[in-house]
Structure 1
Amino acid sequence: MSETPDEVPGPAIPRHRLVLIRHGETQWSRSGQHTGLTDLPLLPEGEEAARGLADVLRDRTFAHVRCSPLQRARHTAELAGLRVDEIDEDLREWDYGGYEGRSTEDIRAELGYPWTVLEHGVVPGEDSPGETVEQVSGRASVVLERIWPHLFDGDVALVGHGHALRVLASVYLRQAPRFAQHLTFRVGSVAVLGHHREDPVVEAWNHS
């Protein structure tokens, strides 16, 4: 009778969840203007939605909370009742360069084709060179590397921005950065990422 071979261990996979939180509404998110590094405050409606996130998150305890340095994210974290452990520059929004403050409709009218930031990128601005989607995904990879050890201790929350978090989710799911075009992320909402065995999965999206 042959011996049973030793079980080959799988990769170390955390059993806890990564919770992504997009900030509440600002004037530019309401009007559809690209808001990268412009440090806009929350609208009153955005503050109300951020307070509501405390109910969404009330059954979770976090081993670690990281937040973008921009005030719309920091204020959202505060109103949601989160204690931020670290401000992370790599959680800031996409640097839209010359398209900062402009709507998709306006940019398309100028270019004459159905432009999207994920497919076609941005142009340099007077004050900023802008970023490529690969640069945004590179920042996301750095954030995920930083928080990975904390996921073995408990849930981790990242408070940030629409495009940057969509790209980060794509990286977490082991997809190309432009997979983010298949994700929408509403202001003032939550997404939950986890694992099914070794596979990264979406457990909840746009929860508010």
Structure 2
Amino acid sequence: MKRVMIVRHGESEWNAERRLQGQADIALSAKGRAQAEALKPVIAGLSPDRTICSDLERAHDTAGLLGIADAECRAELREIHVGEWTGRPIEALRADDAARYQGWRAGTYTPPGGESWSDFVARTTACVTQALQTSEKLLVVCHGGVIRALLESLIGLPPKRIIPVGPASLTILAERPTGSGNMRLELFNYSPLVPVLDAPD
């Protein structure tokens, strides 16, 4: 049975400030490092046979803290590019135009200079499905938006129906029945610490 184990990076310095990151290369906070270290034994117990991760610092550092020394860094797994919204406080974006912000969360609005949802889904899904061809237990260390994109493309769950997953949380998709090519949601937003249910994007 094929499994895709997807981990969001630990809390970053901008997550802590609730600022939208997109592809800005922001480091983990001290709390984010601790969150990733707490998840390490869970990942070890799942024994992934291959790990791919975003090449942004907060993701590949999370992979290292999970005990993965040989993660393959992929630019295709970067977070969605948010253009002129990069670095803006989420509350300010909501205050400026709540409908546009919700449209962006739902994949129907692209910020000025940003990446469209459809292009984002295509690049992230292509990377993961290609890696799955040579893996039975694939670990993907990435970003919240990437997780939403994969849930849409692999199991048909639209982004407007998904909360932002918590930092250093684990989501698992499994092929059921085995050999069918159909992926099903096996685990969502799991954290060995207190689950974060109001995580920022």
If the length of structure 1 is used for normalisation, what is the TM-score?
A: 0.82
Distance 1:29 1:106 in 2: 15
The aligned counterpart of 1:133 is: 117
Distance 2:66 2:121 in 1: 27
Partner deviation per Cα, 1:17-75 (whole Å, 9 max, x = no partner): 10001000012212221111111111111001111111111212222110101000011
* 1:193 maps to 2:173: yes
TM-superposed deviation, 1:114: 6.1
8 Å CA contact 1:118, 1:133 repeated in 2: no
Distance 1:68 1:142 in 2: 14
TM-superposed deviation, 1:16: 2.3
Distance 2:58 2:183 in 1: 29
Distance 2:133 2:16 in 1: 36
> How many residue pairs were aligned?
185
Which consecutive unaligned segments of at least 5 residues does structure 2 have?
Answer: 192-201
- Structure number, greater radius of gyration: 1
TM-superposed deviation, 1:147: 1.2
Distance 1:51 1:26 in 2: 14
Q: Pick from 44, 50, 75: which aligns with 2:61?
A: 75
The aligned counterpart of 1:162 is: 144
Most deviating of 52-61 and 111-120 = 111-120
Q: Pick from 6, 30, 46: which aligns with 2:32?
A: 46
After superposition, residues 89-100 of structure 1 pair within 5 angstroms as 89-100=75-86
Q: Pick from 152, 162, 165: which aligns with 1:183?
A: 162
* Identical amino acids, percent of aligned pairs: 25
Moved over 4 A (4+): none
Distance 1:73 1:115 in 2: 24
The aligned counterpart of 2:15 is: 29
* 1:171 maps to 2:158: no
If the length of structure 2 is used for normalisation, what is the TM-score?
A: 0.85
CA RMSD of aligned residues (A): 1.7
8 Å CA contact 1:136, 1:167 repeated in 2: yes
